[in-house]
């Protein structure tokens, strides 16, 4: 039962990674590419970690996995913001 649940979560997470990667390669401009990329980071990694946390040996390991997700969430949101702001300033002038 837990195997099926964790496999479903991981496959769902991989779907978001695939969709994000395709978006990164195919979308026309920087802003929509960033939009695609952050979906993979946030939702894809979140589902992946939820799937892995089910398999964790103890609560401590599961919490460490959760911490990884939170750190990536904050880092990817911040870096996406910084890249987008830089690009916007290049367009409009400082």
Q: Which of 85, 88, 89, 90 binds other proteins (CB under 8 A)?
A: 85
11 near other proteins, judged by CB under 8 A: no
Q: Which residues of 6-28 are buried (b: 16+ CB within 10 A; e: fewer)?
A: beebbebbeebbeebeebbeeee
57's tokens:
């040996």
Judged by beta carbon, residue 5 or residue 70, the one nearer other proteins is 70
CB distance 50 to 62 below 8 Å: no
88 near other proteins, judged by CB under 8 A: no
7 near other proteins, judged by CB under 8 A: no
Q: Which stretch binds other proteins (CB under 8 A): 11-19, 21-29, 46-54, 77-85?
A: 77-85
Binding site for other proteins (CB under 8 A): 71, 74-75, 77-78, 81-82, 85
């Amino acid at each position: 039962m837990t195997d099926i649940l964790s496999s479903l979560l991981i496959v769902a997470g991989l779907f978001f990674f695939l969709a994000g990667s395709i978006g990164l390669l195919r979308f026309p401009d920087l802003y929509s590419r960033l939009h695609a990329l952050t979906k993979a980071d946030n939702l894809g990694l979140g589902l992946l970690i939820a799937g892995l946390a089910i398999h964790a040996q103890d609560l401590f390991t599961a919490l460490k996995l959760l911490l990884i997700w939170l750190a990536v969430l904050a880092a990817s949101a911040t870096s996406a913001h910084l890249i987008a702001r830089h690009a916007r300033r290049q367009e409009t002038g400082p």
